[in-house]
């Protein structure tokens, strides 16, 4: 039996940068507050909490003053910066550069849309931290769409500028783009097709993982996908694995492994989301090795 950890899995640049900044600050002084879970992985959140990282929400932020608060990779809406200024809070801004660039694009598009009586539409998960930050660039006026039924809330008589949360599925984005264009025509506003501006704003580092992961899943008999259940990216990438290999299993940690998954398997692949730490995938690998009395390997 051979067990391989996917070399392309694990933290994306944005998450790695945020965790590195958190650890650097915690090494100098503690506590450090973080606005929301630094990453959608409970095991990593617990590891950093043991070092002194305290998770707070937006209501907590309003009650703090004279302290340090980390902004995670997902980014934040403008009001967070205003509160920090008013309360003398030092922000350690670890917003992902890709997210910051998208926030600026959406702010510009929103200003233009206001002049044309248009609307900003964002393909993403309602309530997701990144989406809150993106929508904040539009005074929370952006329309958030997650699936086909959400498209009923659009006004097809008005110009539409369409963006995506950076970690959403590429296939999902283009499906929604097609449906919006189709609705514009079918509802009798064909002239607005020329005004429909669809922007593929999915992070390429994330998007490129989909074909890489599909290839990895096909190369192995069994796939163990490691991710926090709260991770939007995790759910999306697990679906890629499952489509390529039906013998794909989702776990949060090594305790959820079932020995019967690996019956007659010669090649086992371990992979994860952009929010999955490498140390956690290595623990899953070690657990499988112990289950089957295998010698530890460096694969």
pLDDT per residue as tens digits for the range 116-139: 999 999 999 999 999 999 999 999
Query: Quick check: helix, strand or coil at residue 91?
Result: strand
The two structure tokens encoding residue 22 = 């958190």
* CATH no. of 13-96: 3.40.50.11270
55 vs 53: CA distance, rounded Å: 7
pLDDT per residue as tens digits for the range 23-34: 999 998 778 999
| Residue 113 near residue 161 (C-beta atoms within 8 A) | yes
Domains 13-96 and 98-202 share a fold: no
150 vs 122: CA distance, rounded Å: 11
Crossing angle of the two packed helices 129-136 and 97-116, in degrees rounded to 10 = 40
269 vs 222: CA distance, rounded Å: 6
17 vs 94: CA distance, rounded Å: 7
138 vs 78: CA distance, rounded Å: 10
Q: Which of 25, 44, 130, 254 is catalytic?
A: 130
The two structure tokens encoding residue 260 = 């019967």
Q: What are phi and psi of 100, to 5 degrees?
A: -60, -40
The residue ranges of the chain whose pLDDT is under 70 are 298-299
* CATH no. of 2-10+207-291: 3.40.1010.20
Domain spanning 98-202, CATH class: alpha beta
Instruction: Using a cut of 0.85, tell me whether the model's pTM lies above it.
Output: yes
Residue 130 annotated as catalytic: yes
Determine the pLDDT at residue 36.
94
Torsion angle of the four alpha carbons 269, 275, 280, 285, in this order, in degrees rounded to the nearest 10: 0
Delimit the domains of the chain by residue range: 2-10+207-291, 13-96, 98-202
């Amino acid at each position: 039996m051979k067990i391989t950890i996917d070399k392309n899995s694990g933290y994306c640049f944005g998450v790695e940068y945020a965790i590195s900044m958190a650890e650097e600050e915690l090494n100098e002084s503690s506590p450090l507050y973080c606005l929301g879970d630094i990453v959608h992985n409970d095991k990593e959140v617990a590891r950093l909490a043991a070092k002194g990282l305290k998770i707070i929400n937006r209501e907590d932020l309003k009650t703090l003053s004279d302290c340090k608060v980390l902004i995670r990779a997902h980014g934040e809406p403008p009001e967070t910066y205003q509160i920090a200024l008013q309360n003398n809070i030092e922000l350690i801004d670890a917003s992902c550069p890709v997210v910051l660039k998208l926030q600026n694009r959406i702010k510009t598009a929103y200003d233009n849309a206001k002049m044309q009586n248009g609307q900003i539409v964002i393909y993403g998960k309602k309530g997701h931290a990144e989406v809150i930050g993106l929508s904040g660039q539009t005074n929370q006026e952006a329309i958030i769409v997650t699936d086909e039924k959400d498209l009923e809330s659009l006004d097809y008589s008005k110009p539409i500028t369409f963006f995506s949360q950076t970690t959403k599925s590429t296939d999902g984005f283009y499906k929604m783009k097609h449906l919006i264009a189709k609705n514009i025509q079918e509802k009798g506003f064909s002239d607005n097709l020329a005004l429909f501006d669809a922007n593929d704003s999915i992070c390429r580092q994330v998007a490129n993982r989909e074909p890489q992961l599909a290839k990895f899943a096909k190369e192995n008999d069994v796939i163990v996908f490691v991710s926090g259940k709260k991770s939007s990216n995790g759910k999306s990438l697990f679906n890629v694995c499952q489509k390529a290999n039906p013998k794909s299993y989702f776990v949060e940690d090594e305790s959820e492994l079932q020995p019967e998954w690996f019956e007659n398997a010669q090649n086992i692949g371990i992979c994860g989301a952009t929010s999955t730490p490498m140390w956690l995938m290595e623990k899953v690998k070690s657990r499988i090795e112990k289950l089957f009395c295998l010698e530890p390997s460096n694969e």
